[in-house]
Chain A
Amino acid sequence: RKEVEQDPGPFNVPEGATVAFNCTYSNSASQSFFWYRQDCRKEPKLLMSVYSSGNEDGRFTAQLNRASQYISLLIRDSKLSDSATYLCVVTSLNYGGSQGNLIFGKGTKLSVKP
């Protein structure tokens, strides 16, 4: 099983649509979770952190289910500018028990059409 798995898409949606992305991770010891956004030929940038209680930032809502090892991202009222690849990211633990490296999923491509 891959460490972080995402549906690669592409998701093609009209403007104004609501779209949801899912991600599963294999390491139950992971403690930090993130969604990153990557535009074509650009570097990844943090979209939002994901907390156990769930969190919302404007049109974006992230959820974490530790029991199922599952993370989701919901985008409401999608805009043309939301077109990008969305990367699910989890942390590993190093031998000292502190957070190690960040493991990225392959990403889910979103294309919002007029």
Chain B
Amino acid sequence: DTGVSQNPRHKITKRGQNVTFRCDPISEHNRLYWYRQTLGQGPEFLTYFQNEAQLEKSRLLSDRFSAERPKGSFSTLEIQRTEQGDSAMYLCASSPMGGRRIEKLFFGSGTQLSVL
């Protein structure tokens, strides 16, 4: 399977715990995005990387959230001291960057986080 892979598919945790999600993008894609989606809403942008550089981070993103893409391949998203409001589907997407234009995004199946 050469699509975007996310692990785990589901994560249940207690409030206050830390969680980490992993995303493996399509291998030749240099852009990697993280989004969060709750029921009835569209995906909300969190952050994106071009290769290993984190180019943009949402102003809405709490400092409890951190993302890395150390070698420009896979990425991790960590949430520290989780809160019930963090419960959501966390979507990763990758894209080739054609010059200055964004090409289509390919999404993974997401990680569903439930904070109890």
Contact = CB atoms under 8 A, between A and B. Distances in A.
A104 interface: yes
B104 A49 contact: yes
B45 A101 contact: yes
Contacts of B40: 8, 106
Contacts of A94: 55-56
Given A34-B104, A43-B107, A43-B110, A101 B42 contact: no
A97 interface: yes
B109 A43 contact: yes
Interface in B98-116: 100-102, 104-105, 107-110
A97 B100 contact: yes
B21 interface: no
Max chain B C-beta neighbours (<10 A), residue from A42, A44, A46, A103? A44
A104 B56 contact: no
Contacts of A46: 104-105
Contacts of A4: 42
B41 interface: yes
B42 A102 contact: no
A34 B101 CA distance: 13
Interface in A72-114: 87, 91, 94, 97-107
B102 A102 contact: yes
A4 B45 CA distance: 13
A104 B42 contact: yes
A99 B102 contact: yes
- Shortest Cβ-Cβ A-B pairs, 6 listed: A104-B42, A43-B107, A99-B102, A98-B100, A46-B104, A104-B43
Interface of B: 33, 35, 40-45, 48, 55-56, 91, 100-102, 104-105, 107-110
5 contacts: A8-B40, A94-B56, A104-B45, A106-B41, A106-B42
Given A43-B108, A99-B102, A104-B44, 5 more contacts: A43-B110, A45-B107, A97-B100, A100-B55, A101-B45
